[in-house]
Amino acid sequence: MKRVSIVGGGGNVGASAGLYLAERGIAEVLLVDVLEGVPQGKGLDLLQAGPIRDYDAKVEGTNRIEDIAGSDVVLVTAGLARKPGMSRTDLLNKNAEIVGSIAAAIKTYAPNAIVVVVSNPLDIMTYHMRKITGFPPQRVMGMAGVLDSARFRAFIAQELGVAVTDVQAMVLGGHGDSMVPLPRYSCVSGVPITDLLDAATIERLVDRTRKGGGEIVALLKTGSAFYAPGASAVQMIEAVLLDSKRFVPAAAYLNGEYGLSDVYVGVPVVIGAKGVERIVELPLTAAEKEALHRSAAEVKSGIAELG
């Protein structure tokens, strides 16, 4: 049985991912968190849900980061949310400290693992993870493209009154307001949405997608999204564990692709047993390429802040 460790597993995103993985029955799940008793309690709760939800996965919790030893995949969801009075730079530096310490532990205890990063700011933290671990870039990826595309798919389905499972969408760029949804590459059962919706409606859905996380934060008031982020991470992990060659957008390290270098940003990739096995370069219009480069520049700016 494969083994997946979720660092930050005491939080909502990590615990949700743990549930989805347990239900798939494709890996042992270890929830790791610094909060004493929390990962153990959530692990026990997930274990006890098994008889009802009809899964038989091994789920445990621990406060010991060294217990990630032998992991095939490490999912990193740990980090702080921005608090009142905290600047963006403060948050960036604090989360870089947290992710950096986790990266060092992964390098020591799980040197052969593939790493999926969810911690924010996502693209910058994924870059930081690769830098500290020293892993080949194929083995370190960020989650957000799957999530952003799922939000776009959901909004398109709502607008058209169709099943979300019949909608496909593509969103590139950094995980934030500068992301680049691509209507030309979004469709309903193969029919481009540009043939189904007018330009003003598409632009409204694109804008809502860019602000999708903020919309949920505003509604929750004391937290952020976790069901869809957890599910998005598990789709990527499943592609690794089953070597299923999923073609999805994800934060990947670019070395010349799309005219970008030494940066993590959301692009279409093929995910399999080796991690990011291929980056797919889509033909982009001049406007789409400019938007992608602008988004990548924001990520590079954040990387430069870390030094």
Catalytic residues: 175
- Helical H segments across 25-112, by residue range: 38-53, 88-109
Cα–Cα distance, 248 to 270 (Å, whole number): 7
Taking the C-alpha atoms of residue 109 and residue 41, their distance in angstroms, rounded to an integer, is 24
Residue 254, SS3 per DSSP: strand
Q: Are 169 and 190 in contact (CB under 8 A)?
A: no
User: What is the C-alpha separation between 57 and 40, in angstroms, rounded?
Assistant: 15
Q: Token pair for residue 266?
A: 């959301």
Query: What are the contacts of 147-150 at 24+ separation with CB within 8 A?
Result: 147/175, 147/228, 147/229, 147/232, 148/175, 148/179, 148/181, 148/209, 148/212, 148/249, 148/266, 149/248, 149/249, 150/228, 150/231, 150/232
Distance CA 259, CA 265 (A): 12
Q: What is the DSSP string of 178-218?
A: T-EE-GGG-EETTEEGGGTS-HHHHHHHHHHHHTHHHHHHH
Residues 230 and 24 sit within 8 Å (Cβ to Cβ)? no
